[in-house]
Amino acid sequence: EEKDKTSGIHTFSDSDSKDSMSNSGVNGKKKKIKQTNKMLRFGTNVDLSDERKWRLQLNELTKLPVFTRVVSAANMLSHVGHVILGMNTVQLYMKVPGSRTPGHQENNNFCSININIGPGDCEWFAVPDAYWGGIQQLCEKNNIDYLHGSWWPVMEDLYNANIPVYRFIQRPGDLVWVNAGCVHWVYSRGNINILQFVVLFKLNVGTTGWCNNIAWNVGPLTARQYSLAIERYEWNKLQHFKSIVPMVHLSWNLARNIKVSDSKLFELIKNCLLQTLRHVIATLEYVKLKNVEVRFHGRGKNEASHYCGQCELEVFNILFIREQEKRHVVHCMGCARKQTPSLSGFVCLEEYRLSELMQVYDAFVLHHPPPS
């Protein structure tokens, strides 16, 4: 998923009459063009997840190498068990030349695949994960929030801070692999210059300069990817920024679904299970202390993970529900206690029995593949 904000060219508005070129064609003759439809200049996060509508196109993408595929057993995001639009489904980005995708890391530091489907070129700027702190400091210096804000680094600032930058052109047909934690920002150059684009645009002759890209995320089953995702999950909590990937829910699914033979990855997942199990037990004890009844609720198949309606924290297993404006809103324990220390008025639902979680925890052991 890209965090896109429109900037750059604002002079293409079809109601713009100040543009000196608005009425002149390429041959210099005056020509009045009637435009009834509003032109879309920056189409961000166009959802291509519908398998019926986009069957042919999505089928083409299954021909890609396994490590880049939208769905594969080796992709952590295929184990989330539900759709995360634009992460484990495909999205399209349509931009006129001059559009900028501001600097960001992917949600929870997952990797991403980005294919330029033409006709325009994109210019990429990318900084390895190890330097994200340096960029965050630059944002701070400029009073911009790294996660919530919109920023475009000045090359000289990066040079002075000894931050290396990869800079390259992505032509139509080129696939960019954004590695875990890589900070990147993208400029849509098109394949013609801005003046040519203005003329062609005003003549309404197609989309010569447009940059169209499709993108999705992948999570290789590696210790590095998992630890970067968990670290960002924790930092997001501190920054009050929603983690689009429900890492706790995902970790329990990984424990259920896969055999892990990498000891480092195993330890990291096992530790997450342990911490959340501790949290679940402490929550149940606290609820009991407050004489609130816990009702077993279970989970529907492919049911989305839950987030607190107040603070957007992932809420795992024990949900505090309260009716607000005729809707049942999920709360985390912290927010429930803040609202009502006695927890009265809240219904407490349990998704998994403690015994079931304990069984998953115990059954998750380091796998020793037979020698081949």
Query: Which residues here bind Zn ion, judged by CB under 5 A?
Result: 308, 310-311, 313, 332, 335
Specify the residue, 244 or 358, whose C-beta has the smaller distance to Zn ion: 244
- Residue 335 C-beta: closest distance to Zn ion, Å: 3
Specify the residue, 199 or 329, whose C-beta has the smaller distance to Zn ion: 329
- Is 77 in contact with 219 (CB distance < 8 Å)? yes
Q: Report the alpha-carbon distance of residue 276 to residue 161 in Å, rounded.
A: 39
Specify the residue, 122 or 287, whose C-beta has the smaller distance to Zn ion: 287
- Residue 299 C-beta: closest distance to Zn ion, Å: 20
- Residue 341 C-beta: closest distance to Zn ion, Å: 15
- Residue 322 C-beta: closest distance to Zn ion, Å: 12
* DSSP helix, strand, coil percent of the chain (3-state; round to 5): 30, 20, 45
Q: Report the alpha-carbon distance of residue 178 to residue 284 in Å, rounded.
A: 41
Q: Report the alpha-carbon distance of residue 90 to residue 45 in Å, rounded.
A: 9
- Residue 88 C-beta: closest distance to Zn ion, Å: 25
Specify the residue, 13 or 339, whose C-beta has the smaller distance to Zn ion: 339
Residue listed under structure tokens 């009637």 = 34
Pairing label, strands 314-315, 327-331: unpaired
Helical packing angle, 247-257 and 223-238, nearest 10° = 150
Whole-number Cα distances in Å, 269 to 20, 83, 134, 351, 366:
61, 22, 28, 20, 11
- Residue 251 C-beta: closest distance to Zn ion, Å: 20
Read off φ and ψ for residue 112, nearest 5 degrees: -140, 155
Specify the residue, 247 or 313, whose C-beta has the smaller distance to Zn ion: 313
Q: Report the alpha-carbon distance of residue 11 to residue 123 in Å, rounded.
A: 21
Specify the residue, 176 or 335, whose C-beta has the smaller distance to Zn ion: 335
